[in-house]
A and B are shown apart, each in its own frame.
Chain A
Amino acid sequence: MLREVPLFGALAPSLLLYFLAALLVFVIVDRLVTRLGGYRLLWHPSLARFGLFLCLFSALVLAT
Chain B
Amino acid sequence: MEGNLERTAKIAQVGGPAPGLAPAKIQQGRDVRRPVSAQIKQRKAPRPSTGVDLAKPLLGPPWIPWIFAAKTTASALIALWIAFAFNLDQPKWTLLTVFIVAQPQSGLVLAKSFYRIIGTLVGAAAALLLVSLFAQERVLFLGTLAVWIGLCTFASKLARNFTAYGFVLAGYTVAIVGIPGALDPGNAFFIAQARVTEISLGIMTTAAISHLVLPMSLAQSLRRAVASSRTELADAAVALLEGRAAAALWTKLLGQVIAIENLRASAVFEDRDIRDRSDVIRRLGVAMLGVIDVAQLLGRSADWLRACPAVPVPGLTEALRTAADAIGLWRDGKLDAAGLRHSFVRASADLPLVRALCRESFVPDEDVIRGAAAIGYPRDFFGAFAAFAEAHEALLSPQPQPVRPARFAVSNDRVGAAWAGLRAALALLVAGTFWILTNWPSGVTATILAAVATARLATMEGGSEAATKAAFLFALSTFPAFIVVEVLLPDASGFAMFCLVVAPVLFFCAWLMAHTKTAGLGFLAGLYFASVAMFQDRMAYDPVGLIGTSLAATFAVALTAVLFAIIAPDTPEAARRRFVKAMRRAFEGIAGRPQVGPTEFVTSTVEALDELRRSLPPDRGQDVAAVDSGFALLGAGRELIRVRDQGRSRRADAGLADDIACFLASNERQPLDRAVSAAREASVKRLAEVRDDGLGVADARAAGLEMVAFAAVADELERCRELLFDHKLQGAPIHVA
Contacts and interface: CB of A to CB of B under 8 A. Distances in A.
Contacts of B212: 44, 46-47, 50
Contact of A40 (B30, B189, B215): B30
A43 interface: yes
A18 interface: no
Contacts, number: 16
B52 A43 contact: yes
Nearest to A35: B33
Given A10-B189, A39-B30, A40-B30, A46 B51 contact: no
Contacts of B30: 39-40, 45
B189 A46 contact: no
B52 A46 contact: no
Interface residues of A, number: 10
Contacts of A40: 30
Interface string B43-62: 00000000110100000000
B355 interface: no
B245 interface: no
A43 B215 CA distance: 13
A47 B51 CA distance: 16
Interface in B12-63: 30, 51-52, 54
A10 B52 CA distance: 49
Nearest to B208: A50
B211 interface: yes
A43 B189 contact: no
16 contacts: A10-B189, A13-B197, A39-B30, A40-B30, A43-B51, A43-B52, A44-B54, A44-B212, A45-B30, A46-B211, A46-B212, A46-B215, A47-B212, A50-B208, A50-B211, A50-B212
Contacts of A13: 197
Interface string A13-54: 100000000000000000000000001100111110010000
Contacts of B52: 43
Interface in B181-204: 189, 197
Contacts of B197: 13
Contacts of B215: 46
Contacts of A44: 54, 212
- Please report whether the interface of chain A is mostly helix, strand, loop or mixed according to DSSP: helix
B136 to A, nearest CB: 23
Contacts of A43: 51-52
A38 B52 CA distance: 17
Interface string B162-196: 00000000000000000000000000010000000
A46 B212 CA distance: 6
Interface in B206-248: 208, 211-212, 215
Nearest to B33: A37
Contacts of B211: 46, 50
Nearest to B217: A46
A46 B52 CA distance: 14
Contacts of B208: 50
Task: Kindly list the 10 A-B residue pairs having the minimum CB-CB distance in the complex, ordered from nearest.
Answer: A47-B212, A46-B211, A40-B30, A50-B212, A46-B212, A39-B30, A43-B52, A50-B208, A46-B215, A10-B189
Nearest to A34: B30
Contacts of A39: 30
B16 to A, nearest CB: 23
Given A13-B197, A43-B51, 12 more contacts: A39-B30, A40-B30, A43-B52, A44-B54, A44-B212, A45-B30, A46-B211, A46-B212, A47-B212, A50-B208, A50-B211, A50-B212
A47 B210 CA distance: 11
A44 B214 CA distance: 10
Contacts of A47: 212
A47 B208 CA distance: 9
B285 to A, nearest CB: 29
A39 B272 CA distance: 15
Nearest to A51: B212
B566 to A, nearest CB: 43
A34 B189 CA distance: 40
A64 B443 CA distance: 46
A50 B106 CA distance: 15
A40 B30 CA distance: 7
A50 B211 CA distance: 10
A39 B54 CA distance: 13
A10 B189 CA distance: 9
Nearest to A53: B208
A38 to B, nearest CB: 11
A13 B30 CA distance: 37
Interface in B604-625: none
B131 to A, nearest CB: 15
Contacts of A10: 189
A39 B208 CA distance: 18
Nearest to A54: B208
Interface string B73-109: 0000000000000000000000000000000000000
A62 B30 CA distance: 33
B421 to A, nearest CB: 32
Contacts of A46: 211-212, 215
Nearest to B272: A34
Nearest to B204: A19
Most chain A CB atoms below 10 A, which of B51, B189, B212:
B212
B79 to A, nearest CB: 16
A44 B212 CA distance: 8
A33 B189 CA distance: 40
A44 B54 CA distance: 8
Contacts of A50: 208, 211-212
A45 B272 CA distance: 14
A44 B189 CA distance: 41
A10 B187 CA distance: 13
Nearest to A40: B30
A20 to B, nearest CB: 13
A13 to B, nearest CB: 8
A57 to B, nearest CB: 12
A30 to B, nearest CB: 13
A50 B212 CA distance: 8
A34 B432 CA distance: 53
A64 B719 CA distance: 76
B467 to A, nearest CB: 37
